[in-house]
Structure 1
Amino acid sequence: MSRVFETPRAFSLGLSATPERDDPAEPDDEADSGDPATRATGFEETQLGRELGPIIYELDYRAAIEHGILARFVLCHYGLPLDPQERSKYERLSREITELRKSLQGQNRGRPLDGGALVGWARRVASRGNSPLAQQATQYVRATGQRKLLLYHATARAAAVDRLVSDAVLNGSTVILFHESITEVMALFGRLVAAGHPVVAEHSQLPDSLRQESIRLFRDGSAQVLVSARSLIEGFDVPAADVGIVVASSSSVRQRIQTLGRILRRKPGDEERTAILHVLYMVDTTDELIYEKED
């Protein structure tokens, strides 16, 4: 994107739903430790802000709905419990992660790191050999990954997805499911296929022809359910859906706004439609930390 600003110009004008960006030090959320360490970067601090100048007009959700630009929507949050076995494993992993984090932070000679940035640093250290520090870094990356998978695979999360999808399909609604992990998207896709739902999958590792076919089937109604990874959030051309289900969310405020935008498109001839976005999270876990960032 930076090369765009090398073009000679007399005037510049930008249009964005998410001008603030997340801290570029944040790595892929699939490796994120779950700590609320990343921050949204103010528009004036970004390259866009420096090149385009200040924001001159803002249109919020309320005004966009009143002007008929966006559909009305309902946002539902579901705090789901871990079962006793899952809770025991979660607490054990969290204690291990806390101890390793303190040790690694004490040995890091650069700027203080936490959250996703610490995981990124630990990955680099782990790849450099078999020193005591590298071994600790390997253990930290492994433990944070295991804890994240534990939350992804929680029994209550799977049961909630199955119930929400079944109810929406029975009501004749179109549904988009959002997840952070491509591996989990395909596992979810397989489970929904086995349940007999008309479902397609879309993510960046699929061939372009298959991705386009999935979107076509969803657009013409042959598929009622679309399971997606982050590639869909980033701007793939997808028709409006009646129901969105955030199976697992990013800590990125920008990505959560983009997710909401996927179900707020107006459907031609259905101006009175109210979209529904269901957000799932596991209570008393790092899942809750995503709500410490204000939208």
Structure 2
Amino acid sequence: MELLTEKQWAGVYRSGDQNLFKDFYTPALKTAVRYDRAVGFFSSEALVSNLQGISGLVKNDGKMRLIIGHPLDEKEFEAVKQGYRLQSLVASFEEKLSSILENLEAKAGARFSLLSYLIAANRLEIKFALRKRGMYHEKIGVVYDAQENSLVFHGSANETIYALDAGYNAESISVFRSWDQHSFDLYGKPYVEGFELLWEGNQKNTVTVSVPSTFYEAISNKFPPTQDGKPQVEEPSYEDEYNSFFGADGDFNRPRIPESIGGVAFSIRDHQKQAIRFWAQNQYKGILKLSTGSGKTITSIYAATKVFEARSKKDLKTVLIVSVPYQELASQWVKNLALFNIRPIECWRNRSAWYDDLKHEILDLKMGVIDFLSIVVVNRTMEGSNFQGLIAQLQGSDVMLIGDECHNHGAKKTNNALPDCYYRMGLSATPYRSDEDEVESPFPEIAKEYINKYYGGIVSEYSLGDAIHDGVLCEYEYHIVPVYLTEEEQEEYEHLSSEIAKLITFMHGSKESSPSNELTRLCGQRSRLLGSAENKLGALEQLVKSIPRAERKHSLFYCGEGRASQQEDMADLRVIDEVSRVLGLAGWHTSRFTSNESSRDRASIMENFKNGTIDALVSMKVLDEGVDVPVCDKAFILASTRNPRQYVQRRGRVLRRHEGKERANIYDFVVLPTNDSAHSQRLKEAELERVDDFVLLAINRLEVERQIETLGIRSAK
């Protein structure tokens, strides 16, 4: 085994002159039997970067002690010092670790596998150092060889992968050798003693906490150690080791156009090129109204990559922020961005999972350590003061905002949270439609004004018909499933419609400028009545029993949000519960996919759906926006929505191209009245608006038109 004394060590390593990874960490840990490390903060970069060279430690049967710093304000620190709120703090660390482990790349995962071995062999201990008035900044490392020679290093390396690559920063570390006794006693020994004080919990103004066993278990469960003992550790050349960690070009998180996606040579389509060209001509602002499934996401990432390339040539910094409504959609964006070598900070879940990472990358950007920063944020997090406080430090001229499902940005609070930036691109198949469109407002939609004021209006359109004609989306058959209201439901519908009409008449003559709470309540109640019409369940049962088992897979069921029956004894049963029950009795294997399921459960459910373990997903609204399931070929729309955004999205969800998928089938449960009153006629008109939209592009249009005539729906116009 090599010794530390056998190599010449510089007194200072500067990343402008040397590569910290190749020239220091790897050769030092190649000799190590013990390794003590104290780092500044808890992040994915800090964990991964401090596993550099760890293969040498494992090969030598070495041990490691790791201290991770964490900042607390004065009140938090005093509470922890008195023994309060420690559990919740540790729980937040575990949640962040879980997030880090879920999103590790393969290269980083290899190092975590070695870390897992150290855990299994009881050769790793981790502690947190909690300190008030800012985080634990002092970075200390001590490497011991087999003869107890030690090498102490200390300095400003910022524990990110950028700090390990000479191309990204001007950081440095100072190195002290124990065999140079005079200088070591003066400078190195105090750091060794400082580490021990910190480890034992005797450091002033610092609380040191051992991590619970569950912390280690999370790593071991994610990366189980090998059954036959120590993993075989091959010692690669410095260049191979370096390239395997950073990539051969050292271009982590630097956007580039992929050569292929999914094994198919990548090229952007004509309608995507045109959309980007129109957006650029509009001073890099505007909404791309592209149909669901026509490649909005890829179009926008391609545009962002081109913006980065152009700005990079001028030595300008670029920040990409992607705003999305839901976590599932956020996770999907992360995967799509990775295709273009973009690794965003994921700003959702708990604040502790993203805040420190974002804070430090913004600092790196401002200091010139990096020239590109990417962020995916859910709207709710974007609206919060923590996120707003950080992005306020960015120069608007450097920032590009991609607003996915930008119709959600018509809400005043969300709109106000959007960054004041130069590059603005909105994405939506229905830019001016929101979930509130069920409300019959007599006033102009102010949301449209908010959206247009920010994005500058629609600059490019690509319709569903265009996408089907060009072969971007598949063809579909449309099937009407007529459902008649019961006598009680008809009476309730007439009553609610009359009350809504009276209220709208009153509001026309008043000084009100927006729908009243009462109007919103009444419209919502009527919408839920139609969505939960009792006869839908009987029609559903008859239909699903008629579909052969071999044709049941990859089906989506969209349910209404009301209760399943107007009867008091069934008041607690939601429509989604009853639909699931009917499907189960008919022999279908289904799973609910709603906001009540955890993100992890939804990911598992979606995987089982895609591989055919379950036949169908039963949902309400979670599948409406952006969730990518091209394998779907059947949609059953039981939610009788008047909202074009919802039914346009739901149709687009099953029209995406997939291998072996020739066409899709859409079953629309159309609610019909039982009399010819004025309100009943308006119900037919409302249903016919959706039916006509679906019929227009259906390949069985003539057949459906005959059914419409037989049902007497067309007479409504």
Q: TM-score, normalised by structure 1?
A: 0.70
Q: Which residue of 2 aligns with 1:289?
A: 686
> 1:47 matched to which residue of 2?
451
Cα distance between partner residues in 2 of 1:19 and 1:88: 34
- Contact 2:630–2:657 (CA<8 Å) still a contact in 1? no
- The equivalences for 1:159-178 within 5 A come to 159-173=538-552, 174-178=554-558
> Which residue pairs with 2:669 in the alignment?
280
Moved more, 189-198 or 101-110: 101-110
The residue matched to 1:260 in structure 2 has which SS?
A: helix
Q: What runs of 5+ residues in structure 2 fail to find an aligned partner?
A: 1-322, 324-381, 383-387, 401-421, 563-573, 674-679, 694-717
The residue that corresponds to 2:652 in the other structure is 261
The structure 2 residue matched to 1:223, chosen from 614, 617, 630, is: 614
- Could you tell me which of 377, 398, 401 is aligned with 1:8? 398
Distance 1:93 1:250, change over 3 A: closer
Distance of 1:178 and 1:210 partners within structure 2: 19
Q: Aligned runs of 1:230-269 on 2, under 5 Å?
A: 230-269=621-660
Q: Give SS of 1:105's match.
A: helix
- Per the alignment, do residues 167 and 110 of structure 1 end up closer, same or farther by CA in structure 2, a change over 3 Å counting? same
Residue 67 of structure 1 corresponds to which residue in structure 2?
Answer: 470
Q: Deviations over 1:170-212 (max 9, x none)?
A: 3513310112428422332233224331111101121112211
Contact 1:200 1:225 in 2 (8 A): yes
Deviations 1:102-150 (A, max 9, x none): 6863896412x5xxx44xx22xxxxxxxxxxxxxx8xx94x65654444
Question: Which residue in the other structure is 2:590 paired with?
Answer: 199
Matched, 1:105 2:105: no
| The 10-residue stretch of structure 1 (201-210 or 173-182) with the greater mean CA deviation from structure 2 | 173-182
Q: Tell me, yes or no, if the aligned pair for 2:425 and 2:455 is still in contact at 8 Å.
A: no
Q: Is the 8 A contact 1:20 1:42 kept in 2?
A: no
**1:197/1:96 CA distance change after superposition, 3 Å:** same
Aligned pair in 2 of structure 1 residues 63, 214: CA closer, same or farther (>3 Å)? same
1:7 to partner: Cα distance: 5.6
Larger % of strand: which?
2
> CA contact under 8 A between 2:544 and 2:586: conserved in structure 1?
no
Runs of 4+ in structure 1 off by over 6 angstroms are: 2-5, 38-43
Question: In 2, distance between residues paired with 1:78 and 1:255?
Answer: 18
Contact map agreement 2:527 2:641 (CA 8 A) in 1: no
Report the count of equivalent residues.
261
Question: Closer, same or farther in 2 for the Cα pair 1:38/1:71, shift >3 Å?
Answer: farther
Residue 531 of structure 2 contacts residue 559 of structure 2 at CA under 8 Å; is this kept in 1?
Answer: no
Which structure 1 residue ranges, 5 or more long, are not aligned?
Answer: 123-136
Measure the CA separation in 2 of the matches of 1:247 and 1:82: 14
Equivalences for residues 58-207 of structure 1 within 5 A: 58-96=461-499, 98-99=501-502, 101=503, 105=507, 109-111=511-513, 117-118=515-516, 121-122=517-518, 141=521, 147-173=526-552, 174-181=554-561, 183-207=574-598
Shift of 1:64: 1.9
Select the structure of larger CA radius of gyration: 2
Q: CA RMSD in A?
A: 3.8
Over 3 Å counting, the alpha-carbon distance change for 1:160 and 1:253 in structure 2 is same
1:244 CA drift (Å) = 0.5
CA separation of 1:103 and 1:200: change in aligned 2, threshold 3 A: same
Structure-2 separation of matches of 1:39 and 1:92: 26
Structure 1 residue 48: deviation in Å?
5.7
**Shift in Å at residue 89 of structure 1?**
4.0
The alpha carbon displacement at 1:261 in A equals 0.9
For the pair 1:18 / 2:397, whether they are aligned, the reply is no
Equivalent pair of 1:36/1:251 in contact (CA under 8 Å):
no
2:481, 2:670 within 8 Å by CA — same for their partners in 1?
Answer: yes
- State how far apart, in whole Å, the 2-side matches of 1:240 and 1:213 are: 16
- Shift in alpha-carbon separation, 1:81–1:68, aligned structure 2, 3 A: same
Q: Which residue of 1 aligns with 2:90?
A: none
Contact 1:22–1:38 under 8 Å retained in 2 = no
Check whether the contact 2:637–2:669 (CA below 8 A) recurs between aligned residues: yes
Q: 2 CA distance for matches of 1:290 and 1:269?
A: 33
Q: What percentage of residue pairs aligned between the two structures are identical?
A: 22
8 Å CA contact retained: 2:625, 2:649: yes
Which shows bigger deviation, 261-270 or 45-54?
A: 45-54
Pairwise CA distance, 1:163:
2.6
Equivalents in 1 of 2:578, 2:396: separation in Å?
44
Pair 81,212 (structure 1): closer, same or farther in 2 beyond 3 Å: same
Contact preservation (8 Å) 2:531, 2:561? no
Matches of 1:179 and 1:40, distance apart in 2: 27
Matched to 2:536, the amino acid is R
The alpha-carbon distance between structure 1 residues 237 and 218, as it changes in their structure 2 partners (threshold 3 A), is same
Determine which structure has greater relative contact order: mean sequence separation of CA pairs < 8 Å that are 6+ residues apart, divided by chain length: 1
Contact kept in structure 2, 1:165 and 1:175, CA below 8 Å: no
C-alpha spacing 1:106/1:47, structure 2 compared with 1 (3 Å): closer
Amino acid aligned to 1:278:
Y
d(CA) in 1 for partners of 2:444, 2:548: 37
Indicate conservation of the 8 Å contact 2:424/2:455, yes or no.
no
In structure 2, give the amino acid aligned to 1:166.
Answer: K
Query: Which amino acid counterpart does residue 158 of structure 1 have in structure 2?
Result: L
**In the alignment, what sits opposite 1:130?**
none
* 1:213 aligned residue: 604
